[in-house]
Structure 1
Amino acid sequence: MTSATFSSSLLGSFPVVTSTRHCDLGKERNKFCCFNEKKGQRNVICACMAPPTRNLGRDEFRGTKFTESSKYGNFSKEVKHENDSDVLIECRNVYKSFGEKHILRGVSFEIRHGEAVGIIGPSGTGKSTILKIIAGLLAPDKGDVYIRGKKRMGLIGDDEISGLRIGLVFQSAALFDSLTVRENVGFLLYENSCMSDEQISQLVTETLAAVGLKGVEERLPSELSGGMKKRVALARSIICDISKESIEPEVLLYDEPTAGLDPIASTVVEDLIRSVHTKGEDASGKQGKIASYVVVTHQHSTILRAVDRLLFLHEGKVVWQGMTEEFTTSTNPIVRQ
């Protein structure tokens, strides 16, 4: 898990029960479609299509209102908010393809201040891709990304967008092998701040303590365990320039933060993700500073321990979203696969 912190002006911030049968639509798309044949359901629901707007069983979809945003069913919970001032990031109808491969097919969602959001779904559905688009590493082919209500017109060099820092913690550890832990964590500040080396060194020590690491500043990455590398990456993503007059809120994006870790190390990282959030308390006893975060994961434990709200991606679309505790009881046929 490597980290990189991006802001609107820092381009160089890296160191920064179902049966299976064919339906007509499925035949056209050369794939199988799974149907939920739950007793009491009057209409067959196909995974290729949005749910019908009538003739559903009483308990189907828990009375949730769905909206259809594409022919083949990009449907999700429609949540009404009276106040949009706390929306930090919004994706509107985002599409992305690589060559002939269509990854995202009209993804829309919001990230609000204080949220802990998880993005889950099968491999190849665009989870990591949407994180990179939010961070400004990729541009969507179609659709828009709004940062605190301002439309992003390009990539991470947008000077006109300010007021929010976005950090991306990559899945694989890509620490600079030739740099010490101190130099890795403080790299952004050494290159892009007016702070003295002494100030940066002290801040690095404090940030490492916040993620539960002490006395490792002079070690090289090769001298760290996998779990320690993950924590160094997290420290690098949350460190910020304290010499500025005001500190912008930050959204952290985690791409598979517990991948490759044993259960104990995974638990440590999951707890750290919570602790650096504004609703948590870090290892040094201070309130976390991260306004919101988004986690892409396949790990069930990470979903339960680190996430409050879930988005389920399937074939490049958000097909379900809701609170974590609602996920296991969802009657959405795609989710239940």
Structure 2
Amino acid sequence: MTEPLIELKGVSKSFGRHKVLDNVDLTIYRGEALGIIGPSGTGKSTILRVIAGLLSPDEGEIYVQGVRRDGLIEDGGQEVGIGMVFQQAALFDSLTVEENVGFLLYQNSNLPRSRIQDLVKEKLDMVGLPEVGHLYPAELSGGMRKRVSFARAIMSNPDDPTVGPEVLLYDEPTAGLDPIASTVIEDLIRYLQCLHGVCSTYAVVTHQDSTMRRTADRLIFLYEGRVQWQGTVSETYNTENPLIKQFLSGSVQGPIQVAG
């Protein structure tokens, strides 16, 4: 493995009386494609938000490039940029695609509008949507909205190298998409990883078999707030671990408790 980029040590998080994460240890290595799988409601989206610095853990420590993070991402002081692609794209309905993708720079840079528009066009070209900047999110298909959210997540400021992601976090990027649209998104995730100067490191939360196989190199299985298993994708499909076997088969029989 290469050097650890992000490390979670003994991280726990509760909402009210419900403990969502329970003493989680997790490492994301530089340049890797990590998949996070497990049943619904087991803390997968929560762990992404903790990694992104959008949620503070109740207990435990988070290290970014070996330096302990204190506080949230908005508190600053972190050299590694982390971008997040939310499950429902989370675009601003009242803004055009161009305004959505360029939002970070419009709000937090001194770049002229024409320069931001050029950067937006560049990012939209990267995700295969060169002619949609003038449209609104409601005018796009679900797969197109996902790709717009990718373009927004990889936006950076060429005049400030600290503004731009080195790590991307994808929260169920293919949820609700048909198989063909899912393949487009899966290919895009890998394509962005290979692009020089974009994001070579990412973690993706998914339930979808094709997304697991096509976007991840290493998988961790989260259940009851803990990492119960981890290994390569091929090991996942050959393991005798009863949790993994039940999850992949979709059986209601096994150690995973089915919600009533």
Q: Quote how far apart the aligned CAs of 1:183 are.
A: 0.3
Whether the 8 Å CA contact 2:12–2:22 is kept in 1: the answer is yes
Within a 5 Å distance, the mapping from 1:66-105 to structure 2 comes to: 86-105=3-22
Q: Quote how far apart the aligned CAs of 1:171 are.
A: 0.4
Residue 92 (structure 2) pairs with residue 176 (structure 1): yes
Distance 2:5 2:165 in 1: 9
Q: Tell me which of 174, 197, 219 is aligned to 1:310.
A: 219
Deviations 1:238-294, CA, capped at 9 Å, x for gaps: 0100112677661000000000101100000000000001xx24xxxxx46102000
Q: Tell me which of 144, 152, 164 is aligned to 2:69.
A: 152
Distance 1:246 1:126 in 2: 29
Whether the 8 Å CA contact 1:163–1:248 is kept in 2: the answer is no
Whether the 8 Å CA contact 2:154–2:165 is kept in 1: the answer is no
Residue 183 (structure 2) pairs with residue 274 (structure 1): no
Whether the 8 Å CA contact 2:81–2:167 is kept in 1: the answer is yes
More off after superposition, 144-153 vs 250-259 = 144-153
Q: Tell me which of 115, 126, 129 is aligned to 2:43.
A: 126
Distance 1:252 1:159 in 2: 18
- Change over 3 Å in CA distance of 1:189–1:249 after alignment to 2: closer
Residue 176 (structure 2) pairs with residue 260 (structure 1): yes
| Larger Rg computed on CA atoms | 1
Distance 2:130 2:189 in 1: 18
Q: Which has the higher helix share?
A: 2
1:336 counterpart residue number: 245
Q: Quote how far apart the aligned CAs of 1:211 are.
A: 0.4
Q: Quote how far apart the aligned CAs of 1:234 are.
A: 0.4
**TM-score (structure 1 length as normaliser):** 0.71
The ranges of structure 1 where at least 4 consecutive aligned residues each deviate by more than 3 angstroms after the TM superposition are: 245-249
1:298 counterpart residue number: 207
- Change over 3 Å in CA distance of 1:264–1:109 after alignment to 2: same
Q: Tell me which of 233, 241, 265 is aligned to 2:157.
A: 241
Distance 1:224 1:272 in 2: 17
Whether the 8 Å CA contact 1:249–1:291 is kept in 2: the answer is no
Deviations 1:22-75, CA, capped at 9 Å, x for gaps: xxxxxxxxxxxxxxxxxxxxxxxxxxxxxxxxxxxxxxxxxxxxxxxxxxxxxx
Deviations 1:84-121, CA, capped at 9 Å, x for gaps: xx211100011111111111111101111110000000
Distance 2:207 2:237 in 1: 15
**TM-score (structure 2 length as normaliser):** 0.91
Distance 1:223 1:122 in 2: 33
- Change over 3 Å in CA distance of 1:246–1:313 after alignment to 2: closer
- Change over 3 Å in CA distance of 1:245–1:105 after alignment to 2: closer
Q: 3-state DSSP class of the match of 1:302?
A: helix
- Change over 3 Å in CA distance of 1:275–1:159 after alignment to 2: same
Distance 1:96 1:246 in 2: 29
Q: 3-state DSSP class of the match of 2:200?
A: strand
Gaps of 5+ in 2: 247-260
Query: C-alpha root-mean-square deviation of aligned residues, in Å?
Result: 1.5
Whether the 8 Å CA contact 2:154–2:164 is kept in 1: the answer is no
Distance 1:117 1:190 in 2: 31
Distance 2:235 2:135 in 1: 44
Q: 3-state DSSP class of the match of 2:61?
A: strand
Whether the 8 Å CA contact 2:101–2:148 is kept in 1: the answer is yes
Distance 2:223 2:137 in 1: 36
Deviations 1:144-173, CA, capped at 9 Å, x for gaps: 11111111111112333x220001111013
Q: 3-state DSSP class of the match of 1:157?
A: helix
Whether the 8 Å CA contact 2:156–2:164 is kept in 1: the answer is no
Corresponding residue pairs, total: 246
Q: Tell me which of 27, 34, 52 is aligned to 1:117.
A: 34
2:80 counterpart residue number: 164
- Change over 3 Å in CA distance of 1:320–1:173 after alignment to 2: same
Gaps of 5+ in 1: 1-80, 282-286
Whether the 8 Å CA contact 1:163–1:249 is kept in 2: the answer is no
2:113 counterpart residue number: 197
